[in-house]
Structure 1
Amino acid sequence: MLTIEILRAILLGFTIGLTGALVPGPMFFATIELSLKKGWFAGPKVVLGHMLVEFFLSVLILLGFASFVGSSTISAISVIGGLALAVFGLLTVKDAKAAASAGISPEKSDMKLTSNPVVLGLITSVSNPYFWIWWLTAGSALVLRAYELGLFVSIAYILGHWTADLSWFTAVSGSFSRGKTLFSERTHEIILYACGGFLVIFGFYFMLNFNNPIQLS
């Protein structure tokens, strides 16, 4: 019986995780940008940074800390996180031409802020207010519901969730890392401009809507 519940939890975590991963967000566009510079392994490394944040949150949720976080915290995250994303996006746009000319070799890039994929995965997670809204509402509810069936079931749900993230972002980085041979320098540059632009848009959207966080049902 426990084995069946564990399998169900893995499947549920994978399905829900994949649904979220497929929606383009800051981490998605940052992964594309890094994959063009560092190759396919950038995707799994970005996810590792993302997983570190989610592991910490999952532990706090199981300890009951989620109930202490209010709307004011989300608003602060929206402003500070939005500013961080906007700055990150502007730097990506600023150095797009140089990065495209230098190619995929990380040591030739001037974009120092993006040099560590694990750190980038962490930054794009904690600076995204929707990430926090999800984990402090629906995400925490799902983890706690799984925990009611046992610790192993809860762990299985989280592992399923991470498997979805890892699968999708590895596929994304694997596809775009081939840009070093498939894309011209101009196309490479345009993609970097687009990724940076999306990050700026996300950042300003978060800052301008800090009093109106979306409600997840």
Structure 2
Amino acid sequence: MLIIEIFGAFLLGFTIGFTGALVPGPMLFATIELSLKRGWLAGPEIFLGHMLVELMLFILILFGFTSFISSSAVSSISVIGGFALTVFGLLTVKDAKNAASAGISQGTPGLKLTSNPIASGLITSVSNPYFWIWWLTAGSALVLREHELGIFISLAYIVGHWTADLSWFTAVSGSFSRGKALLSENAHRFILYACGIFLISFGFYFMLNSSNAAQLF
């Protein structure tokens, strides 16, 4: 039973992480630009900088929030997190066409980056408002919900999240280092629509089950 729960948490983390990774942002453009200069290793190195920031947040969420959080607070976080997931899903669907076009472009003119990929991953993460909005709402809510089932479940979730990020950005850097786009515009748009619908559906589920989360505390 524990194995199934761990796998489910990993799959959830991977799916949600993949939806976020697909949406173009500073980290994606940094990966494209540096992979053209440094090769396929730029993707994993940029991910490492990104992961260091998320690891710090993950630890703070678990050991900062769970030490004093109440059942009513869990319920509130679940509602806010579910609402945030739904909003992110709606925005993903709404912007899928433009995002798909931007996501396969050869970098972004005028984007200033450090030549160190790890530093670029860290900087593009902490300087992205979307990153903080996500982790202060849906991200923290998801981690806390998985932690209700045990530390190994929450670890499986974050490892799944990181696996999605690492897989995507490695694929992007490997593709662009050879001068090719990873996905066609139509394929990228279709995947973004599917991801958006998933986030909307899961957001509603999250909100509707907020009372069950509170009962576990």
1:176 paired residue number: 176
Which consecutive unaligned segments of at least 5 residues does structure 1 have? 68-87, 93-112, 184-216
Distance in 2 of aligned mates of 1:91 and 1:170: 20
**Match in the other structure for 1:138:** 138
Q: Give the structure 1 partner of residue 164 of structure 2.
A: 164
Match of 2:16 in 1: 16
> 1:176-215 maps to which residues of 2 (within 5 A)?
176-179=176-179
Instruction: Output the TM-score relative to the length of structure 2.
Output: 0.61
For structure 2, the residue ranges without an aligned partner over 5 or more in a row are 70-107, 182-206, 208-217
CA RMSD of aligned residues (A): 2.2
Say if 1:34 and 1:114, in contact at 8 Å, map to a contact too: no
Q: Which residue identity does 1:136 align to in structure 2?
A: L
Percent identity of equivalent pairs: 76
5 Å-filtered alignment, 1:116-155, equals 116-155=116-155
User: Is the partner of 1:40 in helix, strand or coil?
Assistant: coil
1:45 corresponds in structure 2 to 45
Q: How far 1:89 moved relative to its partner?
A: 6.6
Task: Report the AA paired with residue 53 of structure 1.
Answer: V
Corresponding letter in the other structure for 1:130: Y
TM-score (norm 1): 0.61
4+ residue segments displaced more than 6 Å: none
Q: Which amino acid aligns with 2:49?
A: G
- 1: CA distance, partners of 2:30 / 2:116: 11
Q: Could you tell me how far apart the structure 2 residues matched to 1:176 and 1:24 are?
A: 15
Any idea what SS the aligned residue of 2:49 has?
Answer: helix
> For residue 45 of structure 1, what is the amino acid of its counterpart?
E
Query: Aligned partners of 2:111, 2:178: CA distance in 1, in Å?
Result: 23
Once the 2 structures are TM-superposed, how far is the Cα of residue 63 of structure 1 from its aligned partner? 2.1
Query: How many residues matched?
Result: 142
2:68 matches 1:62: no
Give, in whole Å, the separation in 2 of the partners of 1:49 and 1:119.
6
